[in-house]
Amino acid sequence: MPTVMLTGPSGFLGSHLLYRLLREPEVRVHAVARTGTGRTHERLTWHRGDLLEPGLASRLMAEIRPTHLLHNAWFAVPGRFWSDPSNLAWLRASVDLMAAFAAASGQRFVGVGTCAEYDWTGTEPYAEDRTPIRPATLYGKAKAACWAAAQVFEAAGSFQAAWGRIFLPYGPGDTTGRLLPSLMCELRAGRPMSLGDGSLERDFIYAADAADLLVRMLMSQANGAFNVASGQATTLQVAIDHVADRLGRRDLLRFGERPTPVNEPSRLVADPTKVRETLGWTPQTSLLHGLDTVLQSSLQGHQ
Amino acid sequence: MPTVMLTGPSGFLGSHLLYRLLREPEVRVHAVARTGTGRTHERLTWHRGDLLEPGLASRLMAEIRPTHLLHNAWFAVPGRFWSDPSNLAWLRASVDLMAAFAAASGQRFVGVGTCAEYDWTGTEPYAEDRTPIRPATLYGKAKAACWAAAQVFEAAGSFQAAWGRIFLPYGPGDTTGRLLPSLMCELRAGRPMSLGDGSLERDFIYAADAADLLVRMLMSQANGAFNVASGQATTLQVAIDHVADRLGRRDLLRFGERPTPVNEPSRLVADPTKVRETLGWTPQTSLLHGLDTVLQSSLQGHQ
């Protein structure tokens, strides 16, 4: 029976990962979190701990001896994660975690990367093995260095490794201050929403789909980097209009009130070919259906 | 007065780096080596230590408090360095060294990388910011990960960083079992030399020129990766014939006796543009002149 260690199980994506892991039959899950508690399940054990604390990874690995490591923990405070110095601490902690995993005879590592590892100056769909890795941000650089280090462990014979570069996750439970949750909150409160021109094209991935792909990667033998994405480019306007229509508040949208960010790429979309051909995976949830589910789920949260 | 820590000062390239550093006026040099001894100079201090020993980097950095770090040490046993597991240990030790340098308020880091970081499937000259980083070997992956980590330190505000991707160094003092020293040894002993077809094109860089460029990088404020190369493609046959002619033993060359390696690129040459335009640097020593110097110097060694 595979024994999986999941780091960062309490956040937005992490809670979807934990839910999906427990649906995998015959898998024992060890969740490592600073809080040390969460949902209960007969195959789930919680461990309290901060991975930035030196020595913790070694102690946990020696105790748990996981066969699989799904490494999702990172500094993730909205707005701050792009340039916070703790990205460096998370890189170093991740290398220590991988070393401890290798020392405990771990077999398979999957880490959560980011589309921000890619060179963002192109507008072609980003392909894992063709688009240059040229991160412009501290966050993107730290994630890219983490994957580079994982490949060294793999090449040295420590463990097999794969890496999921996640695009724009959204879904139930996202209260992170990102665009879509903020939009829903403002429109429901009857407040006008100040927006850019809506022309930016993005690749939204439903969080449960992202979790499904990452867990399939973990349970597969496919190595290398994979885009965790829908492969569909959607303008922000399409997503925003859909939410506003469902809430009957298109009148509150203020497109063009904000300047279009100059440092952001006009088009940020994944090439889904490698994931489809290597893993046979395609996302299950269309953006409009996914948005409807979020609207219903957050409505329940409001009641 | 800048205080430079040089790691790996005792090997082939390292001894050229040390010699060149001491020609830099007003620089104090601290050389860290397992042997702990070597040439003497009024501005040079030797430190005995193995950087793979945990904690050593922190102790040395706290004691020396270098403003500049020139990180050349690595596992370098000929033939074995490509795939030896200690590449992983050297990556981890290098990250620890950088962390200790940052903690000691170090300002500028230069590391020695390799042309093996590049994707070797192309035949165009390799350009630092255009050729994909896609190392095929453990050595290349570990060096690429080391530079990726250095860029995270830089982006986090720890220190400024540059990286020299060295092509094929040669020069006096090279007794490493590489092609040219082996060739000279065999021809002088009157033994026939078994060779491939000689058609591979390589970028040879005279070791003193390589050391000059790396030290200039260290003393400059230019960040990023730079090719440490001549920018000239030479077939192996041209270099081999020149050595054989100087020794009057072309009769001993056996071109075509060995198969041409299938995993090696037919053409491996640097684009020198970035180094020239950013640092105003060009190599001083032509290949044929450099080979003559090696022949004279190794002749002295033979007498």
Here the ipTM equals 0.92
Q: How confident is the model at residue B146 (pLDDT cuts 50, 70, 90)?
A: very high
**Mean residue pLDDT across chain A:** 95
Query: What is the predicted pLDDT for the residue at B92?
Result: 97
In a domain, B17, yes or no: yes
Same structural domain for residues A208 and A258?
no
Same structural domain for residues B99 and B192?
no
Same structural domain for residues B53 and B104?
yes
Same structural domain for residues A160 and A250?
no
Same structural domain for residues B253 and B290?
yes
Q: Is A85 part of the contact surface with chain B (CB cutoff 8 Å)?
A: yes
**What's the average model confidence in pLDDT over B19-28?**
96
- Residues B192-221 have pLDDT tens digits of 999 999 999 999 999 999 999 999 999 999
Q: How confident is the model at residue A300 (pLDDT cuts 50, 70, 90)?
A: low
Q: Is A148 part of the contact surface with chain B (CB cutoff 8 Å)?
A: yes
Angle between helices B179-188 and B287-302 (to 10 degrees): 50
Same structural domain for residues B146 and B186?
no
Please check the confidence at residue A303 and state whether its pLDDT lies above 60. no
Query: What is the predicted pLDDT for the residue at A79?
Result: 83
Query: What is the predicted pLDDT for the residue at B299?
Result: 64
Same structural domain for residues A162 and A103?
yes
In a domain, A279, yes or no: no
Rounded to the nearest 5°, which phi and psi values hold at B94? -70, -40
Please check the confidence at residue B151 and state whether its pLDDT lies above 80. yes
**A239 within 8 A of A180, measured Cβ to Cβ:** yes
> Quick one: how far is CA B79 from the chain centroid?
15
Closest-CA residue to B108 (of B153, B165, B43, B74):
B153
Nearest by CB to A152, from B87, B132, B153: name it: B87
**Quick one: tokens of A210?**
């992202």
Please check the confidence at residue B114 and state whether its pLDDT lies above 50. yes
Strands A204-206 and A168-170: parallel
In a domain, B58, yes or no: yes
Residue with tokens 């050349």: B72
CATH number at residue A222: 3.40.50.720
Q: How confident is the model at residue B301 (pLDDT cuts 50, 70, 90)?
A: low
Please check the confidence at residue B302 and state whether its pLDDT lies above 60. no
Among B58, B80, B82, B88, the strongest candidate for a mutation testing the A interface, having the largest count of A CBs within 10 A, is B88
Interacting residues of B269 by C-beta distance below 8 A, sequence separation 6+: B125, B126, B167, B201, B202, B203, B229, B231, B232, B233
In the three-class reduction of DSSP (H, G, I as helix; E, B as strand; rest coil), residue A197 is classed as coil
Same structural domain for residues B105 and B223?
yes
- Residues B238-284 have pLDDT tens digits of 999 999 999 999 999 999 999 877 778 999 999 999 999 999 999 99
Same structural domain for residues B77 and B125?
yes
Angle between helices A236-247 and A287-302 (to 10 degrees): 40
Q: What residues 106-145 of chain A have any CB closer than 8 A to a CB of chain B?
A: 129, 132-134, 137-138, 141-142, 144-145
**B256 within 8 A of B195, measured Cβ to Cβ:** yes
Residues of chain A in contact with residue B85, where contact means CB-CB under 8 angstroms, are: 156-157
Q: Is B148 part of the contact surface with chain A (CB cutoff 8 Å)?
A: yes
**A68 within 8 A of A3, measured Cβ to Cβ:** yes
**Plot region of B36 (φ>0 → left; ψ -120 to 50 → alpha; else → beta):** left
CATH number at residue A187: 3.90.25.10
In a domain, B276, yes or no: no
Q: Is A158 part of the contact surface with chain B (CB cutoff 8 Å)?
A: yes
CATH number at residue B259: 3.90.25
Instruction: Give the total number of structural domains in chain B.
Output: 2
**What's the average model confidence in pLDDT over B17-32?**
97
Q: How confident is the model at residue A98 (pLDDT cuts 50, 70, 90)?
A: very high
- Residues B58-74 have pLDDT tens digits of 999 999 999 999 999 99
Strand blocks (E) in chain B: 3-7, 28-33, 44-48, 68-71, 108-114, 160-166, 168-170, 193-194, 201-202, 204-206, 224-228, 234-235, 253-254, 267-268
In a domain, A70, yes or no: yes
Q: Is A259 part of the contact surface with chain B (CB cutoff 8 Å)?
A: no
β-partners of residue B71 are B7, B111
Hey, are the CB atoms on B88 and A158 less than 8 Å from each other? Answer: yes
Residues of chain B in contact with residue A161, where contact means CB-CB under 8 angstroms, are: none
Please check the confidence at residue A208 and state whether its pLDDT lies above 80. yes
Same structural domain for residues A64 and A112?
yes
In a domain, B278, yes or no: no
Same structural domain for residues A81 and A194?
no
- Residues A247-278 have pLDDT tens digits of 999 999 999 999 877 778 999 999 999 999 99
In a domain, A212, yes or no: yes
- Residues A174-191 have pLDDT tens digits of 876 788 999 999 999 999
Q: How far is CA A21 from CA A68, A227, B134, in A?
A: 11, 19, 32
Rounded to the nearest 5°, which phi and psi values hold at A209? -65, -45
Hey, are the CB atoms on A152 and B138 less than 8 Å from each other? Answer: yes
Domain carrying residue A77? 3-168+204-228
In a domain, A105, yes or no: yes
Same structural domain for residues B78 and B191?
no
**What's the average model confidence in pLDDT over A215-227?**
97
Task: Give the CB-side neighbour count of residue B174, counting CA atoms within 13 A.
Answer: 25
User: What does pTM read for this prediction?
Assistant: 0.94
Q: How confident is the model at residue A299 (pLDDT cuts 50, 70, 90)?
A: low
Q: Is A79 part of the contact surface with chain B (CB cutoff 8 Å)?
A: no
**Quick one: tokens of B193?**
């030399």
- Cα separation, B191 vs B247, whole angstroms: 12
Q: Is B85 part of the contact surface with chain A (CB cutoff 8 Å)?
A: yes
| Pairs of CB atoms within 8 A across A/B | 68
